[in-house]
Chain A
Amino acid sequence: MDTSSPAAFVNGGLLCMHVGRKVRTVIQVTRSDAGSVMGKSTDGCQLVVRGSPPAPLTSYVEVIGVAENENSIRAELWTNFGDSFDASNYDQLCQLANGELKHLFL
């Protein structure tokens, strides 16, 4: 069993707390190019995700990777989360997972 590389749940606002570390988040894709995807985080911020997204991309995609700065992530793993996803639930989860309950995750 290995807990050595956990990924922190982040939204746009929380990304800055984990720069340089492994993070995970769900974005709603607004634009996708060859080397990067632009999307809206679950709390409404614009984020850039660099890497090779899968094709085709659904509206919502989860990315797991390393936070480069407060609005960009270098993705290692992409998962299509479909076209309907409850972003506000996920956003609340991000806040809970970074608060007093962090020890359940990281």
Chain B
Amino acid sequence: MFSSSQFEDSSPLAGGGFMSSQLGGSTPSSARIRDMQGLVPATVKQISEASQSGDEKSSFIIDGVDVANVTVVGMVFNKNSRSSDVRFQLDDGTGRIECIRWVTERLDTRDLDALEDGTYVRVNGHLQTFQSKRQLNAFSVRLVTNFDEVTCHYLECIHFHLQNSKVQSKADEAPDLSFSTPVRGASNGHHPASTNDFSMQYNADGLKSFDKLVLNYLQQPSNIDREMGIHVDELSQQLKSPLEKIKDAIEFLEREGLVYSSIDDYHYKAVEGL
């Protein structure tokens, strides 16, 4: 994968001094980190309208959600390569934003050398403000090869927005959008007819929708209260899914530190205080 050494490395060598404090130096409490979404799909317009949050002003708020990292798809323009960094403007049709890819080793920017103006790329990066301009500190720049990805990205932006707007204002009627044509190949297990409270939540925080289903079930207050935990068979029955699928999800959630086994290897509980 792309070297993320400048992301993990909090030494002053990692890019300009102004960024290392945001990434490695000051450590927000673990609870706050978990509140932040992982990699949020956004348009440049949304980013330009986002407000800043917190005293450190190290993150932004989009649709009421704390956002630190975003993923944007657009065209490269005005690429400028220097020894310390490669900069370019990313134009996604809703606006342009400056992206910076810091160079720690020559290898890091081979992917950028070949980029010409007008090339579609996906940039994953950390949103930040510098000299009152918003920028993307890019830790990943990838060529788009299948252009359905472009369509899919905008649909994800819409989805993220709708998901968080609905949470904010339950009183508003959901707009009359027909999602009757499911996005092909974009997700696993699309169940439009499910009547469960926690049916099919797509999340931008790296959890597959099914993992989130399992987690949500375990996070229900009535289940949190059950000291012995929830048996995987019950999960399988309640979520109407094969045991293997439940076990895979549990394994993943356990690795992420979101659930833990309680009285034995078959009973699990959600980690609280997240």
Contact = CB atoms under 8 A, between A and B. Distances in A.
B96 A96 contact: no
B133 interface: yes
Contacts of B152: 89
A62 B47 CA distance: 24
A56 B66 CA distance: 44
* A contact face: mostly helix, strand, loop, or mixed: mixed
A37 B94 CA distance: 25
Given A82-B146, A89-B151, A101-B161, A3 B118 contact: no
Contact of A104 (B46, B97, B133): B46
A79 B94 contact: no
Contacts of B134: 1
Contacts of B150: 62, 81
A2 B118 contact: no
Nearest to B145: A82
A7 B162 CA distance: 22
Given A104-B46, A104-B158, A6 B175 contact: no
A20 to B, nearest CB: 17
Interface stretch (B106-114, B176-184, B189-197, B248-256): B176-184
A89 B175 contact: no
Given A6-B94, A79-B120, A104-B43, A99 B147 contact: no
Contacts, number: 90
A92 B181 contact: yes
Contacts of A81: 147, 150
Range for the number of chain A residues in contact with chain B: 20 to 34
Contacts of B98: 1
A2 B183 contact: no
Interface in A82-100: 82, 85-86, 88-90, 92-93, 96-97, 99-100
A3 B48 contact: yes
B233 to A, nearest CB: 39
A106 interface: yes
Given A1-B47, A82-B147, A101-B161, A89 B94 contact: no
Among B75, B95, B98, B183, chain A packs the most CB atoms within 10 A around the CB of B95
A89 B154 CA distance: 11
Contact of A89 (B157, B177, B183): B183
A11 to B, nearest CB: 12
A50 interface: no
A91 to B, nearest CB: 9
Contacts of B227: none
A1 B147 contact: no
B44 interface: yes
A92 B120 CA distance: 21
A75 to B, nearest CB: 12
A97 B153 CA distance: 13
A45 interface: no
A62 to B, nearest CB: 7
B142 interface: no
B148 interface: yes
Given A6-B93, A6-B94, A89-B181, 5 more contacts: A6-B45, A62-B150, A79-B118, A89-B155, A92-B181
9 contacts: A2-B96, A6-B45, A62-B147, A62-B150, A82-B147, A89-B155, A96-B158, A101-B158, A104-B94
